[in-house]
Structures are given as structure tokens and as C-alpha cells.
Homo-oligomer: A and B are copies of this chain.
Amino acid sequence: MRIVILGGAGMLGRKLVERLAAIGSLGGRPITGVVLHDVVEPALISAPFPVSAATGDLADPGVAEAAIAGRPELIFHLAAIVSGEAEADFDKGYRVNLHGTLKLFEAIRHAGITPRLVFSSSIGVFRGPFPETITDDFHTVPQTSYGTQKAIDELLLTDYSRRGFFDGVGIRLPTICVRPGKPNKAATGFFSNIIREPLAGHAAVLPVGDEVGMWHASPRAAVGFLIHAASLASGLIGPRRNITMPGVSCTVGDQIAALRAIAGDAVVARIRREPDPTIQRIVSGAAWKFTPKRALDLGFTADRDFAGIIEAHIADELGGRIMA
């Protein structure tokens, strides 16, 4: 099985290829090669199959065609401008997140291949007011340009799949927490910062109140969603190709309590409260209580609870050690 990962230099793309290298096959079919594609040069890894890198902006002429020239049977489309940047730069967000995706879909259509395409959408397609819990048939009326672009991509994915141009699955990812590495431009970055930084011995800023809730998935769980989506039988998915992923629903207060239970008061004391009304406004209207029935019926599995998310971070990123 030939695989292309678009957005292969990103956090999820890197973790995904590492997981693919570890498992070596998907749905019983051996992986014969992976192309990592991104706007910046992706780092290569050693794997039991060839891993190569390619660069380019999907919105530029010919780039999407070149990215799929190897006629992949599986494409992970993770490439996107993140929420904060898409909000700050209207043209760039639409250029990459809408037109880049559309160019990719058109390239696949005209190449005459019909790969499974796994698309990373986002719970950012939803915006309140919400019912008590968000079911699978709740409308997608985003109030960010990022959410708008993802919701449009979902619609295109459904139509292109219905037409038989490819076999698409969109998975609406929860907020990824604990996100490793440096903060990116997402307004939701602090959900990770307040766990990652204190565990590493650093201070972290908490810009919102303890009552703010979020729908979380660890990077480990998110990679699991991608892998599971890659080999789901198309007939099981049905005509509604975009699926809200399961997650852990908790408040900032719940996050901090879990951190305290695992790492102690001294670590929690590294969180500094600096309220930011803009971030509070953005995240306090976010979706954080779901009933992701379709995903659960299809076998997608979430983290156990927020403590499980912290434990996954300590195991996967910190080699089991915390700075107590």
C-alpha cells in the first residue's frame, strides 16, 4: 500500500508516520512506501518501507498533481493553516484550507485513482448556542474562518466521495492535548501549555477561567483515529462521510485537578493566571460536550479520561519523567 501524508511535517503527520513504521501494515496490507508532503521539508524517519519527502503548497499550480503522482492508495490530508492564523490572515486561510484542498480533490479526480482519503477536520465546525450535548446531526455553523473552511472541505469530501472520485472519510478531531513542542498559533494552545510546561519545569499562562470546557484527545488517540479511519470499510461509513471523534470532556478546572493528582502542588503552582478576554471569548463558545455515537459505533476509541491524557504525554514525550 502506497501512502501519502499531506501535512507530513506537522505534529500529527510525524506521529502518524512513526506509528505506520511501527505497525508496517494497514488492514492486513503491507505498507510499501510513504511520501511525507508539506510546505516545509518533513523530517525522514527509518521504517520497514521507503519514506520520502516532498515540498510544496497545495494551492500552487501543479503541486497537488505532483504530490499524488505515485498513485497512492491511501492519502492522509492533514495540511492546514491553523485557526488563529486563518483568522488573522483571511486570504491565506482560504487559499490553503479551501483552495488547496479543492486543488487536491481535483488532482485526484483527474488522475483517475480512487484512494481512501482521510481528512482531518475539526470540532471547530461547530459553534454555539449548543444543546445539552451535541449529537451527530447537529448543524455545522462555524464562527471562525478556519471552522468555515473545514466545514466546506467536509462538504466537498462528501460530494467527491458520492461521485466516486475518491473514498473519503473526514474525522472531526477534538482539541489535541497535550500538544508537544512549542505553542502554535491556535487560540486553544493554552489547554496544552498548562499541562506541558509545568510538567517540564516551566511556567505557563492560563488566560481563561476554570469553568471553560473543552473536548480533548491526546496525540496518541488522534493518531489512532487516523489509522482506524484509514481501514474502515466504506460501506460501514455510509453517505455521511464526516464523523465527530470521541474525546474527553472536561473543564480547565478538571485538567488542573488531574495534573495535581498526578504531579503534585508544586507543578500546578507553575500555572499563572492572566485572563485574556479575547481568548476567553473565543474558547468559551467552543463545543465541548458531544455524544459521538457514530464514531463509537464505528470503533473509534477515545482516551480514558484527562488523567489518561496526561499519562500518555508523560510516557510518549517525557520518557516517563516529570519535573516535580
Contacts and interface: CB of A to CB of B under 8 A. Distances in A.
A239 interface: yes
B148 A239 contact: no
Nearest to A151: B155
Contacts of A127: 239
Contact of A163 (B90, B131, B136, B137): B90
B239 A143 contact: yes
6 contacts: A136-B139, A137-B139, A141-B242, A145-B159, A145-B163, A148-B156
A142 interface: yes
Contacts of A155: 140-142, 148, 151-152, 155
B240 A141 contact: yes
Contacts of A143: 158, 162, 239
- Indicate how many identical chains form the complex: 2
Interface of A: 90, 127, 131, 136-143, 145, 148, 151-152, 155-156, 158-159, 162-163, 239-240, 242
A112 to B, nearest CB: 15
B137 A140 contact: no
Contact of A158 (B138, B141, B162): B141
Contacts of A152: 152, 155-156
A15 B40 CA distance: 54
A148 B159 contact: yes
A163 B241 CA distance: 29
A143 to B, nearest CB: 6
Nearest to A93: B159
A152 B240 CA distance: 16
A111 to B, nearest CB: 16
Contacts of A141: 155, 158, 239-240, 242
A24 B138 CA distance: 41
A228 to B, nearest CB: 21
Contacts of A137: 131, 138-139
